[in-house]
Amino acid sequence: MNVSFTETAPKSPSLLARIVEQDKLPADLPVAIVQGAESSRFTGKTGQVFEGFVEDSGSVVRLALAGVGKTNGDTRLANLERAGAALAAKYLTSGESTLVLDLAGSGLAADEAAAVLLGLRLRSWRWDAYRTKLKEEQKRSLEEVVVAGAPEGTAAAWDEQAAVAKGVEFTRELVAEPANVIYPQSFVERCRERFEGTGAEISVLDEDEMRELGMGALLGVSQGSVRDGKLLVIKWMGGKAKDKPTVFVGKGVTFDTGGISLKPPAGMEDMKWDMGGAGAVAGAMLALAGRKAKANVIGVCGLVENMPDGNAQRPGDIVTTMSGQTVEVINTDAEGRLVLCDAITYVQREFKPKTVVDLATLTGAMMIALGMEHGGLFANSDDLADKLLAAGKQSGDKLWRFPLSPAYDKLIDSPIADMKNVGPRWGGSITAAQFLQRYVEEGVDWAHCDIAGMVWADKPGATWDKGATGFGARLIDTFVRENCE
Q: What positions carry a catalytic annotation?
A: 263, 337
* Eight-class DSSP state of 40: T
The CA distance from 150 to 63, in Å, is: 18
Rg of the Cα atoms in the chain: 24
CA angle, 98 then 100 then 101, to 5°: 135
Contact (CB, 8 A) for 390 and 482:
yes
The span from the CA of 280 to the CA of 204, in Å, is 18
> Which of helix, strand or coil describes residue 215?
coil
How far is 432 from 336, CA to CA, in rounded Å?
9
First to last CA, the chain: 29
279 contact partners, CB below 8 Å, separation of at least 6:
170, 171, 172, 174, 175, 250, 252, 273, 455, 468, 472
Specify the DSSP class assigned to residue 421: S
Evaluate whether 304 touches 251 at the Cβ level (below 8 Å): no
The conformation of residue 402, written as its DSSP 8-state character, comes to: -
Q: Which of 52, 174, 110 is nearest to 470 (CA)?
A: 174
Phi then psi for 80, rounded to 5 degrees?
Answer: -65, -40
Say how many residues make up the chain: 485
At residue 322's C-alpha, the angle toward residues 316 and 326, to 5°, is: 30
CB 257 within 8 A of CB 268: yes
